[in-house]
Amino acid sequence: MNNQSDLRLRIINHKLVQARWVPSPNYNQRPMNQSPSLLVIHNISLPPREYGGPYIEQFFSNQLDTHAHPYFQEIEGLEVSAHLLIRRDGELIQFVAFDQRAWHAGVSQFEGCENCNDFSIGIELEGTDNDEYTDQQYEQLKAVTHCLMMEYTHILPDRIVGHQDIAPLRKTDPGPAFDWLRYKGEL
Cis peptide before 25 (omega within 30 of 0): no
Residue 50 appears among annotated catalytic residues? no
56 Cβ contact partners less than 8 Å away, ≥ 6 residues apart: 44, 45, 46, 85, 124, 126
Q: Which of 57, 76, 124, 132 is catalytic?
A: 124
Q: Under the phi-then-psi rule, with left for phi > 0, alpha for psi from -120 to 50, and beta for the rest, what region is 60?
A: alpha
CA angle 177, 186, 133 (to 5 degrees): 25
* Catalytic positions, written as ranges: 124
